[in-house]
Amino acid sequence: MHFKGKRLRKLGYHLPEVAVIGLLLLAYGPLLVHWYDGWLNKTISTEHEYFSHGVIGLPFAAYLAWEKRRQWQALPPVSHLLGLGLLLLGVVGYLSGLSNVVNLSLPVVLAGVCLWFKGTAGLRLYAFPWFLVALATPTELPYLIAPYTLPLQRFIAGTAGFLLVQFGMDVRVDQIYLYVNERIVEVAPYCAGLKMLFTSLYVGLMLLYWTGAWCSRSKTILFIGGIVATSVSANIVRNTLLTFFHGAGHEQAFAWLHEGWGGDLYSACMLGILIVLLQGIEHLLSASLELDPDDRVEPTC
């Protein structure tokens, strides 16, 4: 009975936080279900599909939040006035009924909760999990940046055309269009690889945090740069194959890679490359330090 009473007192001490978590689940549970259904079954809008990395990012953020719970409990209860303002702003956004505003209300409310219960220390503690949630929150950002991807589209089209010419195909490139055997292939804004780039950078951040490599500036810069280069290169290969399949009349292969599970296989391989890339960078930098032991060791987190 003494042990049970002790647990009840402990639960009562954290009752406000438990109540807030319950309210968040009631309010945003249906929204999260809608996101996951749209991401997994591709029933969500094209712009919001760009944030499908949330499928793995949101559970990881929840896991990190749970792992830090004892550190959270150890923080003194300090309420920051900005927290109340963010909570009110989040509630207004949630009640607005506007899709994107409702979505954005989630990270706003979470930041408000951290500040209201534990002040700036609480927000710093949960900064990375919050960042993962914010980056996985569907917005119209892809729609806003799509008009500025034209140089990338031209580069991909030109490079794909060059590669196909090396294999003896009759290809003509005009801006973002490739003409092969009287068939036209367009490198559209949403074919420029931004979705895979967003996903790769998101997963890359998770890997940097999980391995602790983010504490090293050199590793972080090399890894992020490597992600961008790898993602763009892989997308050039994908667009080259799509152009070849369409131009050669292999419509089943085109559909497989463009809309079928071939695209999922491409994405999985791309994410697998990130692990190899990070390991290679760590090995390279470790070997460099062994050759020059006088180099200054970067501080750890």
Burial 172-206 (b: 16+ CB within 10 A, else e): ebeebebbbeeeebebebbbbbbbbbbbbbbbbbb
Tokens 């790769």 identify what position? 200
Averaged pLDDT for residues 147-163: 86
| Euclidean distance between CA atoms 41 and 185, whole angstroms | 26
Averaged pLDDT for residues 79-97: 92
Tell me which H or E stretch contains 12. helix 2-13
Domain coordinates in residue numbering, the chain: 2-142, 149-291
- Identify each DSSP E strand in 153-224 by its residue range: 171-174, 177-180, 183-186
Q: pLDDT tens digit string along 96-132?
A: 989 999 999 999 999 999 999 999 999 999 999 999 9
Tokens 């961008």 identify what position? 228
**Which has more pLDDT, 66 or 181?**
66
Q: pLDDT tens digit string along 247-298?
A: 877 888 888 887 777 778 888 888 899 999 999 988 888 776 655 555 444 5
Instruction: Give helix 217-247 / helix 194-211 axis angle, nearest 10°.
Output: 150
Instruction: Using pLDDT thresholds of 50, 70 and 90, give the confidence band for residue 216.
Output: confident
Instruction: Using pLDDT thresholds of 50, 70 and 90, give the confidence band for residue 3.
Output: very low
pTM: 0.85
> Is residue 1's pLDDT more than 50?
no
